[in-house]
Amino acid sequence: MPIREKIKSGLENVLNDIRKEFEMISKYLEIAEEFLMKKTEHLNRDEIEDKANELRVTLPESMIEFYEFFGNNNEVLKSFYQFKKLDEFEILHEGLIFGYGHYDEFMFGILLEQMSSEIPQILEYNYDRQKWFVKSLSYDIFFMNVACWQVFNTLPYIVTVIIKEEKLDSILDGKLSIISKEKLLYKGFDIYSYYNKEKNIVACYLVGTQELCMASCEYFYLESFKNELGLKLVWKLVKNGGDLIEDHVYEKSKDRKPSCNELKNKEIKMISKYLEIAEGFLLKKTEHLSRNIIENKANELGVTFPESMIEFYEFFGNNKKVLNSYFSFNNLDEFDIQNDGLIFGYAHQDEFMFGILLDQISHEIPQIHKYPYDRKRWYLESSSCLEFFLNVACWQVLNTMPNVAIADIEEKDLDNALEGKLSIICKEEPLLYKGYQVYSYYNKEKKILACYLKDIQELYVASNEFSCLESFDDESELGLDWV
């Protein structure tokens, strides 16, 4: 066969594969949608095409399909990556911008010169280097996998396990069905997506970290699958009633799953217990704020406060020193509705506001978001109100204490270093892989309160009595540096 004919034949095979992907994407977007706890009305295709005409571009079919299914679902669009709503699409840097990275470190886009290409690509625009880089070699695979990933990150129950890629197929054979495997030519966010309709499980494998992440809207299904898989799985997120519970917090009977009310009651008892412990380290306590006053403020604003927020303000709502020791939390009468969110505080140097999105505040699983003034939009700060308010209570109280010391310590060494010396209050893992994470600890007998900031690998240890901190330093051999 002549070379030209071979090239033509090879190209036709590639295009045939792509056409098959076009046929697949609706099927798999429908599968991903079925796992949602809350679905929304589909976006009209005419609206999407009208927006494309307004911008004078031709959108890829897979992108149109993605926005048909999820363009009205703000929870899916913002769960991990931040996808723009249709009316927010814009042309920048010779590309169509339709979303942002997890921490806004880059923009998702399609180069205008590639919009009508038969084999288009998804690119990312790096702010620091002011250049476009290839994110995905195929629109279709990208939108199939990212749909699963975004839906995955809306679900309340998540487990992970490390599996080497070469063992993945044999371990999952007969247990999960493949949706799509995405591999980049060089490096980046490589993701494989899977599902099992019968067992109500959606899964994503992250090649870079060799993690298989599995999620479900029902604890029972994931616990059952965990046992069937026969691997040691780690609970990453176990959320219900608006907050997060780690696997060891509640006792499970082998023949039944815990009810929502049981989990909720245990969450309430858990936060009260630990807020009381944190309060015990204050040099000067204040009178507790009445729950009725807090609930009246919520009614005035037309919202329902998460239980963990109510508990936090019951304990510390009258204590201006605690509310403003590091972060600045609003007094109850300063709560405000701005930018479609309930604003309740500000960052250390006022670079952003803390809030809860109004469209999430009455969900079973509300999250804490931040609103940076310079970016003018919301970003996920913590996946759990419970963890956030537990750890922030400890951190705010710690910052009122007169004697503080710091130790640099890697997370892998933390448990061994603190075993028998400090008791855990809560480990915050608001996001699966990176971000601002706080672990809090205490020792009542030795009068020590501690917080570990995972992102900077520093342990802060505090006491109201210098001799207690000095004694802890000698015993722990952490090599504390005094602040």
For the chain, the straight-line distance linking the first and the last C-alpha, in angstroms and rounded, comes to 77
Strand partners, 368: 382
User: What CATH number is associated with residue 210?
Assistant: 2.20.25
Q: Do residues 239 and 245 make contact, with C-beta atoms less than 8 angstroms apart?
A: yes
Domain count across the chain: 4
Q: Would you say residue 25 lies in a domain? A: yes
| Strands 403-408, 458-463: pairing kind | antiparallel
Q: Residue 44 carries which DSSP code?
A: P
For residues 7 and 141, membership in a common domain is answered with yes
Q: Compute CA 64 distance to the chain's CA centroid, rounded to the nearest angstrom.
A: 26
CA dihedral 389, 394, 395, 397 (to 10 degrees): 120
For residues 309 and 332, membership in a common domain is answered with yes
- 296 SS3 class: helix
Tens digit of pLDDT for each residue in 194-205? Answer: 999 888 899 998
With a cut of 70, say whether residue 243 has pLDDT above it: no
With a cut of 80, say whether residue 430 has pLDDT above it: no
For residues 8 and 121, membership in a common domain is answered with yes
For residues 178 and 297, membership in a common domain is answered with no
For residues 46 and 118, membership in a common domain is answered with yes
Q: Which long-range contacts (CB under 8 A, 24 or more apart) does 16-23 make?
A: 18/118, 18/119, 18/138, 18/140, 21/62, 21/138, 21/140, 21/141, 21/144, 22/61, 22/62, 22/140
Q: Would you say residue 325 lies in a domain? A: yes
Q: Please tell me which residue, 483 or 421, carries the higher pLDDT value.
A: 421
For residues 12 and 134, membership in a common domain is answered with yes
- 140 SS3 class: helix
Q: Would you say residue 246 lies in a domain? A: no
pLDDT band at 257 (very low <50, low <70, confident <90, very high): very low
Tens digit of pLDDT for each residue in 30-77? Answer: 999 999 888 899 999 999 999 999 999 999 889 999 999 999 999 899
* Identity of residue 173: D
**Domain span including residue 98:** 3-145
The answer to which of 178-192, 385-399, 432-446, 449-463 has the lowest mean pLDDT is 178-192
Last residue of a domain, one of 365, 390, 415: 390
Q: Would you say residue 16 lies in a domain? A: yes
**Which residue from 300, 19, 235 is spatially nearest to 140, judged by alpha carbons?**
19
The residue-averaged pLDDT of 425-433 equals 55
Q: Would you say residue 150 lies in a domain? A: no
Spatial separation of the C-alpha atoms in residues 483 and 463, rounded to whole Å: 12
For residues 205 and 323, membership in a common domain is answered with no
Q: Do residues 418 and 341 make contact, with C-beta atoms less than 8 angstroms apart?
A: no
Q: What does the block give as tokens for 259?
A: 């009810």
For residues 281 and 410, membership in a common domain is answered with no
Arithmetic mean of pLDDT over the chain: 82
Tens digit of pLDDT for each residue in 279-289? Answer: 999 999 999 99
Tens digit of pLDDT for each residue in 281-331? Answer: 999 999 999 999 999 999 999 999 998 999 999 999 999 999 999 999 999
From residue 388, give the alpha-carbon distance in Å to each of 78, 244, 460. 19, 10, 17
Last residue of a domain, one of 390, 420, 441: 390
The residue-averaged pLDDT of 100-117 equals 85
Last residue of a domain, one of 94, 110, 145: 145
Task: Sort residue 67 into left (φ over 0), alpha (ψ -120 to 50) or beta.
Answer: alpha
Residue 96 CB contacts under 8 Å (≥ 6 apart), including other chains: 55, 57, 89, 90, 109, 110, 112, 115
